[in-house]
Copies of this chain bind each other. A is one copy, B any other.
Amino acid sequence: MRLRLTPRDTSFFDLLAASAAHLVTGANLLAELLGADRPTRKALAKQMSDAEHLADEATHQIMRRLNQTFVTPFDRDDIYGLASALDDCMDFMEEAADLIVLYKIDELPARVADQVQVLQRSAELTAEAMPRLRSMENLAEYWVEVNRLENQADKSHRKLLAQMFDEITDPILLMKLKEVVEKLEDAADAFEKVANMVETIALKES
């Protein structure tokens, strides 16, 4: 066990965990939205927007705390980076949900559900990993699995693009769908970025 010569504000772990918990809500709302009819989608997109505001508030709370705290549990810039990266995951998921409603997209290709499942799993893994930053233990399985999920999501995203360009003949529908699936791919990338940051932090602290 390492001795802590200075007291450190451990509540950063709780704040990061709270921030990641909003991502689970967001990914689940996104999955629900895919299967819903148009009026329900609108209500779910509103819930998604609320979740995004809560995540935003959680990020700002971390930033404020960071600026008031002299000794942080790990590198200040890394906490800042992690909080921003968690926020990005939410922003992309919220944008995807909003675009589905704004563009009045009736039917989404089946593979989109696979993309969203990856996001749900990534969000769960991320939320479970945040509290483990306290002990820096058992984090490798998290970042390895999120990297694996992102590789899978990337392959599936490319196949989906090829399929969409093969099958959809209405260019305007194609533009709409392409933008939605790209936001979902951006969200998967953002989860991977969080995992890579956690890896770097864990290796530095080890």
Contact = CB atoms under 8 A, between A and B. Distances in A.
Contacts of A174: 172, 175
B165 A176 contact: yes
Nearest to A199: B63
Interface string A45-81: 0000000000000000001100100000000000010
* Copies of this protein in the complex: 3
Contact of A200 (B63, B158, B171, B175): B63
A162 B67 contact: no
A161 interface: yes
Interface residues on A, range: 20 to 34
Interface string A99-113: 100110000000000
A99 B110 CA distance: 21
By DSSP majority rule, is chain A's interface helix, strand, loop, or mixed? helix
A204 interface: yes
A171 B162 contact: no
Nearest to A95: B158
A172 B171 contact: yes
A203 interface: yes
Interface of A: 63-64, 67, 80, 98-99, 102-103, 158, 161-162, 165, 169, 171-172, 174-176, 178, 200, 203-204, 206
